[in-house]
Structure 1
Amino acid sequence: MSAAATRPAFPFTALVGQAPLQRALLLAAIDPAIGGVLVSGPRGTAKSTAARALAALLPEGAFVTLPLGASEDKLIGTLDLEAAMRESAVRFAPGLLARAHGGVLYVDEVNLLPDALVDVLLDAAASGVNTVERDGVSHSHDAHFVLVGTMNPEEGELRPQLLDRFGLMVELGTPYDVEERQRIVKARLAFDANPQTFCAARESEQRALGERIAAAREALAGLDWSDAVHERAAQRCIEAAVDGLRADLVMLRAARALAAFEGADAVTPAHVDAVADCVLAHRRHTMPPRSDVPSATEPKPPQSATAPEREAKHTEATSDADWGELPPEPVAAEAVKGVIPLPAKKR
C-alpha cells in the first residue's frame, strides 16, 4: 500500500480560520437532507482539506471525488439489461453515489460540470435516494451523503436554478491577517512533517466531535419548530427577497441541526439567526419597495408641501440635472371630465 493511501486526513479540529465553513459542513453532516454545501473561493483556501477532514469524522469515513469528465453512468451506476431479460433479475453496477453513501461526495469546480449532472447530484443529495432507470427496468438504493461542491468565481458561475438547490453556501477569501496566515501555515507544515504525530495530538478532540455529530443526528427527530421559529425564518427570507420557499425549508432544517449539535432542548429564533447567512448567501436579492409603503425618496403630494419645500425641491432637481439640460417649465393644464382639477397656483 502506498504512503498516500495510508496518509491520514488533516484533522477537522485543527483547521484554522475556517469557522463558517466548519459550521456549514457540520450542519450538513448532521442532516444531509439540507442539500449539501457550496464553497466559493480562490485556489489555496483549503476547500478540499476541509471536506476530507469532515469525512474522517463520519463513521463510514468515505470520501469520494467526482472527476470533471465523469459520465452520468459513472455517477449513478448502470443496469445490465441483458441479465434482467435473461434471468428476470436486476444486476446493478454501483456508481459513485453508492460509494459515497454514509460519507462525503466532493465535487471540485462544480460550476464547470454539465447542468444535467449537477441536477442528478442535487436530487440525490436532497432525497437520500438514487434511482437508475433503463428501458422500463429500475433500481433504487440509499444514497445518504454530504455533498460538498467547490467553485472559483473567476471560472464562471452556476445557473441561479442550480445555485438555489444547494442547501448552504460559504464564501472563502484569502486571509490577509499576518498572525492568521502564520497559524495556518505552521499547522500545515507540522502536519506535513509528521501526519501521524500531528493527528495523534488531536485524537481526543476528534473523537469527541465525532460522538457529538452522532448524538446530534439521534436528537434531530425529537426537535420541532415553534411558531416563533417559523416566523423568524419567514422574516429573514422575506428580508432577503428570496425566490420560492426552499430557503425557508433549508433554514429550518439548518436551525434544527444547530440546536441538536448544541444539545439544546428546543429550536429557537436565535438558531435561525445563526444559520441565516449561509442559507441566504447565494439566494439573497435586493428587496423591491412595497407598493403599500411610501418610499423614503418618494416626493410628497403638492398639496401637502409648503412653499419653501417646493422651492427647495425645485432647486435640488435643477442642481442635479445633467449639464445643458433645461429646467422644467410650467404649462397650462386642462381639466378632464371625471378628474379632480389641480389646485390653482398661488401668485
Structure 2
Amino acid sequence: MNALAFPFTALVAQEPLQQALLLAAVDPSIGGVLVSGPRGTAKSTAARALAELLPEGKLVTLPLGASEEQLIGTLDIQSALRDGGVKFSPGLLAKAHAGVLYVDEVNLLPNPLVDQLLDVAASGVNIVERDGISHRHDARFVLIGTMNPEEGELRPQLLDRFGLAVEMSNCFDASVRQRIVKARLAFDADPDAFRARHRNEQAVLGERIHTARAALASFEFDDAVHARVSEMCIEAHVDGLRADIVMLRAARALAAFEGAPHVDVTHVERVADSVLKHRRREGDAPSREPQGRESTSQETRPDDADWGYVPPEPTGTAKVKQVRPLAAKKA
C-alpha cells in the first residue's frame, strides 16, 4: 500500500462514489462496487484512498493479463500425492483478504475471471479444486472495479453481479474544478503536510467503519422497509431478486455507518440509485405470469429455465477483521 495515498476525506465532489465505497467497506458481502466513467475522474485515486482506511491498509491490484491461477491460487498435486498434505500457493484473492482488490478496466478482463471475482466477493470464501483435491480460505475484501464505457461494456449478467455501481462524469462546474485542482496541487507539493491536515478525519472515519461492522448483526428489516425495496425494484423492472437483497444490505450498512437505531425507508431510498443504476431496464414492463397456468414459464422460455434464479448467498453477517484508527497504527 502506498504510504502517500491521497486521503479519502480530502476527495472533492465525490459523494456518491464515497458513499458506495464506504457501504462496501462496512459490508463486503454487498458484492463490490463498479465505477464507470471517463479517464481522469479519480476512480483509481478513490480506490487507493479507501484501502488506507481498512485493516492493514492493503490494496491488491489485479493486472489485466492475470491468469486464473494467479487469481485463485494453485495446488501442488505432486506434493499432495507424495506427502498426503495439501500445499497451497495463495493467489491474489488470498492476498486481498481484509483489504481492497482493485481491478482497473474490469470490462476488458475475460468473463470467466470476472465471474470468479464476483463469486468470491459475495461469498467471502475462495475454493480451489484440482483433481479431486480442494482447499478453501477466507477471502473477504472490498472489490472495486473501474471501467471506461468507451472501451467496451460488461455483459448484463456480469453487471448484475456487482453489488453497487456509480457513474462518474466530467466536471463542468468551474468552482468545483478549481477545488479539485487546488487539493491535488497541495497534495503533490507536500504530501506529508497535506495528509497531516486530514489525519484526524481519517482516524474518525476508520473508527466509524469499525463500529458499523460490529453493529451490522443487530439490525433487522421491518415490513415497511421490505415493501419499499420491493416497490423500487419492481419499478426499475430488474431481473431476479439480487437487487432486493443488495438494497437491503446496503441500507443496513448505511444505517450502521450513521449510527441509526434501525433501518428505515430513508436508508433504502438513499442507496437505491447505486443499487439500481446498472440493473434498471427502462421501458420494459415487468413480466407477469397469467394466473392458472403454471406451465407458462416453460412454454414461453424453454431455453431459460433458470430465469430469476439467484445463487445461494450468505445470510446474516460474517465477522470481519476490525479496523484500528490510523493514529494508533502510526504510534
Equivalent residue for 1:232, pick from 228, 232, 256: 228
CA contact (8 A) 1:41 1:173 kept: yes
> Who is 1:98 aligned against?
94
CA drift of 1:61 comes to 1.0
- Deviations 1:34-64 (CA, angstroms, capped at 9, x unpaired): 0000000000000000000000001221100
Equivalent residue for 1:133, pick from 112, 129, 135: 129
Higher relative CO (CA 8 A, sep ≥ 6), structure 1 or 2?
2
Residues 232 and 291 of structure 1: CA distance in aligned 2, closer, same or farther (over 3 Å): closer
CA contact (8 A) 1:7 1:195 kept: no
SS of match in other structure, 2:34: strand
Equivalent residue for 2:194, pick from 191, 198, 206: 198
How far apart, in 2, do the equivalents of 1:124 and 1:277 lie?
Answer: 24
Scaled by the length of structure 1, what TM-score is found? 0.81
- Deviations 1:47-96 (CA, angstroms, capped at 9, x unpaired): 00000000000122110000000000000000111000000000000000
> Who is 2:71 aligned against?
75
Q: Which moved more, 1:205-214 or 1:281-290?
A: 281-290
> Who is 1:259 aligned against?
255
Does residue 277 of structure 1 match 2:267? no
> Who is 1:8 aligned against?
4
> Aligned letter for 2:126?
N
Structure 1: which 5+ runs fail to align?
293-347
Residues 75 and 32 of structure 1: CA distance in aligned 2, closer, same or farther (over 3 Å): same
> Who is 2:142 aligned against?
146
How far apart, in 1, do the equivalents of 2:286 and 2:28 lie?
Answer: 36
Residues 135 and 215 of structure 1: CA distance in aligned 2, closer, same or farther (over 3 Å): same
> Who is 2:52 aligned against?
56
> Who is 1:286 aligned against?
282
CA contact (8 A) 1:240 1:287 kept: no
Residues 154 and 44 of structure 1: CA distance in aligned 2, closer, same or farther (over 3 Å): same
> Who is 1:29 aligned against?
25
How far apart, in 2, do the equivalents of 1:240 and 1:115 lie?
Answer: 26
SS of match in other structure, 1:16: coil
CA contact (8 A) 2:213 2:256 kept: yes
SS of match in other structure, 1:42: coil
CA contact (8 A) 2:237 2:285 kept: no
> Who is 2:104 aligned against?
108
> Who is 2:152 aligned against?
156
Residues 290 and 25 of structure 1: CA distance in aligned 2, closer, same or farther (over 3 Å): closer
> Aligned letter for 2:106?
V
CA drift of 1:289 comes to 5.1
Scaled by the length of structure 2, what TM-score is found? 0.85
Residues 209 and 85 of structure 1: CA distance in aligned 2, closer, same or farther (over 3 Å): same
Larger Rg, first or second structure (1 or 2): 1
Question: What is the count of residue pairs matched by the alignment?
Answer: 288
Structure 2: which 5+ runs fail to align?
289-331
Equivalent residue for 2:169, pick from 173, 176, 185: 173
CA drift of 1:8 comes to 1.4
CA drift of 1:290 comes to 7.6
Residues 193 and 132 of structure 1: CA distance in aligned 2, closer, same or farther (over 3 Å): same
